[in-house]
Amino acid sequence: MATEAPLYKDPTQPVEARVKDLLSRMTLQEKAAQMAQIERQVAAPATLTDLSIGSVLSAGGSAPRHGATAEDWADMVDQMQRWALASRLGIPIIYGSDAVHGHNNLFGATIFPHNVGLGATRDKELARRIGEATALEVRASGIQWTFAPCVAVCRDLRWGRCFECYSEEPEIVRMMTSIVSGLQGSPPEGHHSGYPFLAGGRNVIACAKHFVGDGGTHKGKNEGNTICSYEELEKIHMSPYPDCFDQGVCTVMASYSSWNGEPLHSSRFLITDVLKNKLGFKGLVVSDWEGIDRLCQPQGSNYRYCISASINAGIDMIMIPFRYDKFLEDLILLVESGEIPMLRIDDAVERILRVKFVSGIFEQPFSDRSLLDIVGCKEHRLLAREAVRKSLVLLKNGKDPKKPFLPLKKNAKRILVAGTHADDIGYQCGGWTITWHGDSGRITTGTSILEAIREIVGEETEVVHVPNPTASTLLALHQQEPFSYAVVVVGEVPYAEFLGDRTDLSIPFNGHDTISLIAGTIPTVVLLVSGRPLVVEPQLLEKIEAMVAVWLPGSEGGGVADCLFGDYDFHGVLPVSWFRSVDQLPLNSGSGASYDPLYPIGFGLRMFD
Ligand code: GLC
């Protein structure tokens, strides 16, 4: 008689029954391995098959090869899945990657504006649509899990991750969590808040991060210490999480930061008592990259302490990502010694299995090759272009408000486009693009702001592009034939995490001097390509005709030209306060009389009434 398939393999069974059945069949070694997430570079057949590792990830920029296609990615992930399915119980892996503004690890994918720009749109339906499109491009590459959205509430612009945040205002971050429903699909009426949900194979497991208070650290120090009352932590930094739970977010990532001196990765109060018990989160909690190693100083020294402190605090899956043998050896010893109760292990593995069963990965473990053509497709690029348009914030339009300078004329005889950021896809995409910290140059497919300007102006318009004109060059060019106007595009260079922590928020590459030189001769509009507000001196502001916050628009620079030349009006409003000086930071609305920004949160002009 054919042996009956075990209950956990039967998709008609309830998820909780499948979880219970599979858990009952697992050895301690297999349970420990399911709690391990390793980087793709160490994911070998023996590791995945013999150990039954729970998850594999790509660090920022960790692709199968330089310029890898979606097919290359899908081949890699499917191969790893075959190794995993060959394990004793055939538990599939879930593969994770940071698709934080489109599938930004994948060359040729649609790159959407970073979250700070989406916060300027205040458009929750747009966020949901972006999540939907991103999920398709991620699944096309075989990946099932994205470490997004970042729902940090950025309270200090000196933090290098403010561009990953929707706003300094919890209410704005809360509204933009609608991206979870785009990424995962929308749960049915009556869905139990906190229980994981995934609609199907065209959706991806989402990850609300980084729990909790990552955007509130002292002086905006990355991985720093958030010093505040529990009420303030709950009201400001925790408030977006229940919105994610209502949408069935499957995973939460713990923050590197500390709260009043206690690292989040070892905070039983916040991870177990609050996140799991009080807020009712039933999905899995994953550590950050080497997040547990930071619990011991020197980092990773007393690794057994790192493991027991984090797992006893309530973290379920550890983003190790390389030393998995040491992790597994120590974890098993800690359980056998009783330092980590078996109940805690079972809780962690139950949560991991619950997410896997809910995701449908047991039934559909491999990539869907019919999605391959969807990567970077026209429809997604048009959506990204719409998002760019809606994210732009018009800060000044005309030295005399009665004489608006924008929209620019499409049929001007001769125009100057200058600045380091006019023709650089890498700069306009920012961090987390192709590589972890991003880069300059043509790092992926897309349209630069200069290319978009060239496309939109008339044939008779001469577009002169000089990134950094000297005074003499500028004079000679202008005397040769006067420019009708200048578009000066400057801003920040890409960065990620601690690389972006900065107290000097002036425009890099002497952007101030470039603007001043050009605006002294030609009527000028300034476009700021940055992950946050930058210093704009009053006398410089007086010299220019107009200024637009472009944020980090991504691959579709066409959205910038659409508004600049009047095909669309500006709609964006500031998601963060624009300081006069960095000495004012942190500067947040609601801080009473001391709140004296150059432009307040919510500010944004229109061209047309
Ligand atoms: C990083 C980031 C986190 C990211 C993870 C995996 O250190 O803090 O946001 O998801 O590692 O790349």
Q: 545 C-alpha to center of ligand 1: Å? A: 40
Element (H, E) at 376: none
**Whether residues 260 and 335 fall in one domain:** yes
Phi, psi of 427 (to 5 degrees): -65, -40
pLDDT of residue 592: 84
Sheet strand arrangement including 207-211: 207-211, 251-254, 284-286
Convert the pLDDT of each residue in 104-117 to its tens digit. 999 999 999 999 99
Mean pLDDT for 500-504 is 97
150 CA closest ligand 1 atom index: 9
* Strand-pair partners of 100: none
Does position 491 have pLDDT exceeding 80, yes or no?
yes
Q: Is 271 part of any domain? A: yes
- Write the residue with the smallest CA distance to atom 1 of ligand 1: 289
Instruction: Answer yes or no: is pLDDT of 527 > 90.
Output: yes
Whether residues 301 and 402 fall in one domain: no
Distance of CA 77 from the midpoint of ligand 1 (Å): 20
C-beta separation of 552 from 573 below 8 A: no
DSSP one-letter code for 4: P
Q: Distance between CA 588 and CA 596 in Å, rounded?
A: 9
DSSP state, 238? I
Q: With respect to residue 58, please indicate whether it lies within any of the assigned structural domains.
A: yes
Which of 373, 406, 436 terminates a domain? The answer is 373
In the prediction, which pLDDT does 591 show? Answer: 83
**Best residue for ligand 1 mutational test, from 288, 292, 320, 497 (most atoms within 8 Å of Cβ):** 288
Distance 352 CA to ligand 1 centre (A): 19
Three-state secondary structure call for residue 36:
strand
Q: Which of 266, 375, 289 minimizes the C-alpha distance to 55? A: 289
Backbone angles phi, psi at 241, to 5 degrees: -70, -45
Question: pLDDT by residue (tens digit) across 52-100?
Answer: 999 999 999 999 999 999 999 999 999 999 999 999 999 999 999 999 9
Q: Is the pLDDT of residue 298 over 90?
A: no
Nearest to 168 by CA among 605, 578, 594: 578
Write the residue with the smallest CA distance to atom 12 of ligand 1. Answer: 59
Structural domain contains residue 175: yes
518 with 441, same domain?
A: yes
What token pair was written down for 323?
């030393």
CATH number at residue 512: 3.40.50.1700
Atom index in ligand 1 nearest the CA of residue 164 equals: 9
Residues 208, 225: Cα–Cα separation, whole Å:
20
pLDDT given for residue 4 in this prediction: 81
Mean pLDDT over the full length of the chain: 97
**How far away, in angstroms, is 290 Cα from ligand 1 center?**
9
Identified catalytic residue from 156, 492, 497, 545: 497
SS (H, E, C) 101-153: CCCCCCCCCCCCCCHHHHHHHCCHHHHHHHHHHHHHHHHHCCCCEECCCECCC
Ligand 1 centre to CA of 426 (Å) is 20
From 289, 433, 437, mutation site for ligand 1 pocket: most ligand atoms within 8 A of C-beta: 289
**Domain annotation covers residue 599:** no
Q: Give the per-residue pLDDT at 1.
A: 58
Is residue 191 located within the same domain as residue 69? yes
Q: What is the mean pLDDT of residues 357-381?
A: 98
In which domain, by residue range, is 276 found?
7-373
Domain co-membership, 363 together with 472? no
Average pLDDT, integer, range 362-377: 98
Q: Which atom of ligand 1 is nearest to the CA of 289?
A: 11
Among 373, 402, 434, the domain boundary falls at 373
Q: How many domains does the chain have?
A: 2
Cα of 471 vs centre of ligand 1, distance in Å, is: 44
CATH, residue 344: 3.20.20.300
Residues 356 and 247 in one domain: yes
- 219 and 308 in one domain? yes
Q: Write the pLDDT tens digit of every residue in 24-38.
A: 999 999 999 999 999
Residues 414-458 have pLDDT tens digits of: 999 999 999 999 999 999 999 999 999 999 999 999 999 999 999
Counting from 1 in the atom list of ligand 1, the atom nearest the Cα of 210 is: 9
Alpha helical stretches, state H, 392-510 = 425-429, 449-456, 471-480
Sequence-distant (6+) residues with CB within 8 A of 273 are none
> What pLDDT, on the 0 to 100 scale, is given for residue 301?
84
Spell out a b/e string for 377-404, using b for 16 or more CB atoms within 10 Å of the CB, else e: beebbebbbbbbbbbbbbbbbeeeeeeb
Pocket of ligand 1 (CB under 6 A): 59-60, 98, 147, 209, 288-289, 497
CB contact set of 552 (below 8 Å; sequence gap of 6+): 101, 113, 114, 116, 117, 163, 428, 429, 430, 431, 529, 530, 531
Examine the domain organization and report whether 351 and 397 are in the same domain: no
- DSSP label at residue 408: P
Residue 424 within any structural domain of the chain: yes
**Residue of 279, 277, 334 lying closest to 310 (CA atoms):** 334
Residue 273 annotated as catalytic: no
User: Looking at the predicted structure, is the pLDDT value of residue 609 above 80?
Assistant: no
Exactly one of 30, 223, 288, 562 is catalytic; which is it? 288
Which atom of ligand 1 lies closest to the CA of 207? Answer: 10
Provide φ and ψ at 442, rounded to 5°.
Answer: -85, 70
Cα of 114 vs centre of ligand 1, distance in Å, is 15
Nearest CA to ligand 1 atom 3: 288
**Residue 41 maps to a domain:** yes
Q: Which parts of 151-222 are beta strand (E)?
A: 207-211
- Quick one: which atom of ligand 1 is closest to the CA of 256? 8
Residue 2 in any domain: the answer is: no
What is the token pair recorded at 464?
């002169």
Residue 455 designated active-site: no
pLDDT tens profile 183-238: 999 999 999 999 999 999 999 999 999 999 999 999 999 999 999 999 999 999 99
Strand locations in 271-422, DSSP E?
Answer: 284-286, 318-319, 393-397, 414-418
Tell me the per-residue pLDDT of 82-91, one tens digit each, with 9 for 90 and over.
Answer: 999 999 999 9
Q: Residue 92: beta bridge partners?
A: none
Which residue puts its alpha carbon closest to atom 8 of ligand 1?
A: 288
Question: Is 4 within 8 Å of 18 (Cβ atoms)?
Answer: no
Residues 233 and 336 in one domain: yes
List strands edge to edge, sheet with 55-58.
Answer: 145-146, 94-97, 55-58, 36-39, 318-319
Q: Residue 2 above 70 pLDDT?
A: no
Residues 90 and 238 in one domain: yes
Residue 288 Cα, ligand 1 centroid: separation in angstroms? Answer: 6
**Confidence tier at 368 by pLDDT (50, 70, 90):** very high
**Are 151 and 230 found together in one domain?**
yes
User: Which residue puts its alpha carbon closest to atom 7 of ligand 1?
Assistant: 289
- The CB density around residue 277, as the number of other CB atoms within 10 Å, is 11
Question: From atom 10 of ligand 1, which residue's Cα is the shortest distance away?
Answer: 147
> Are 277 and 363 members of one domain?
yes
Which of 373, 403, 428 is the last residue before a domain boundary?
373
From 62, 98, 211, 437, the mutation candidate for ligand 1 (largest count of ligand atoms within 8 A of CB) is 98
Mean pLDDT of 234-259: 98
259 is a domain residue: yes
- What predicted TM-score, i.e. pTM, was given to this entire model? 0.98
Give 314: exposed, middle or buried? Use CB within 10 Å, 0-12, 13-18, 19+: buried
